[in-house]
Amino acid sequence: MKPLIFGHGGVDPTPVTTGREYGAFSSDAIDVNMQPQRVDMEFDDMMTSSGVPVSFHVVATFRITDAVLLVTKFGADNGTDKSGNVDWGFWDRNMAQPLATAVRDAVKKRDMQEMAISQTAADAVGQEVYAAAVSIAQKTGVPIVFTAVNVGRVNPPDDIKHQRIQTATQEQRAITEQETKLAEDQRKAAEESRAAADNAYREKMGLSPDQFLQLEAIHMQERVCTSGAKCTFISNGSKVTPILDAK
């Protein structure tokens, strides 16, 4: 309130909510969004316990509980920055740096592999930062209540990502070669079993190797000629030669 003649200036202790309210033309209105808000924080080259930096995105969701206290003690400074994001002066002055420190402390407890691969590790960091954010708000007295702190996908340096891709490619190649060898071993075992069965049959029937081969040739000719192909057999003494129609 900024009265020109009567009364006193300062922040009206009674906030204007829904509906219409009249005031002096010299007064200023400060809009405070009481709906849930979010702050996006980017962290580049955040060092892990293994000495490898990672980059990731953190989203903090909160809502303001007391608009008058916020404006009176901390300043709302609502507006937009160069990127078009909402700019809260109270956040920059009271929350941004302590929260960044909490994120750094949580990440330093874990190595790069854990952060980049395990979503459980990222969730644990989010829970630690959430607890730290609640504590910071209570200590500073900023009238906000946090609802969640979420850690997005963690990205290691490009060199590490390329190495991981190469490692995964090599591991997949080894798996493929192992599966190929297993298939070949199974085929070899099947062929040996079939050979053993054929030899047992030959011995059971009292056939010589040549006789067994002749019998197999007859079986093959039978399969071909009974499958729809036209066959002509030419007999020359004890030898029978089949002629297959190419059509």
Closest CA to 43 of 28, 32, 53: 53
DSSP state of 74: I
Cβ proximity of 30 and 52 under 8 Å: no
pLDDT of 161 reads 61
Count CA within 13 A, CB hemisphere, residue 65.
Answer: 10
Domains and CATH numbers, the chain: 37-160 (3.30.479.30), 206-247 (no CATH)
pLDDT-based confidence at 84, cuts 50/70/90? very low
Across residues 223-235, what is the average pLDDT? 71
Across residues 210-236, what is the average pLDDT? 75
What's the pTM?
A: 0.55
pLDDT of 101 reads 92
The mean pLDDT of the chain is: 78
Q: How far is CA 94 from CA 7, 89, 115, in A?
A: 32, 9, 28
Across residues 62-91, what is the average pLDDT? 71
Cβ proximity of 214 and 239 under 8 Å: no
Task: Give, in degrees to the nearest 5, the angle at Cα 179 between 177 and 182.
Answer: 110
pLDDT of 80 reads 47
pLDDT of 15 reads 72
Instruction: Return d(Cα 79, Cα 36) in angstroms, integer.
Output: 16
pLDDT-based confidence at 69, cuts 50/70/90? confident
Whole-number percent of the chain with pLDDT over 70: 74
User: Residue 76 CA to chain centroid, in angstroms?
Assistant: 37
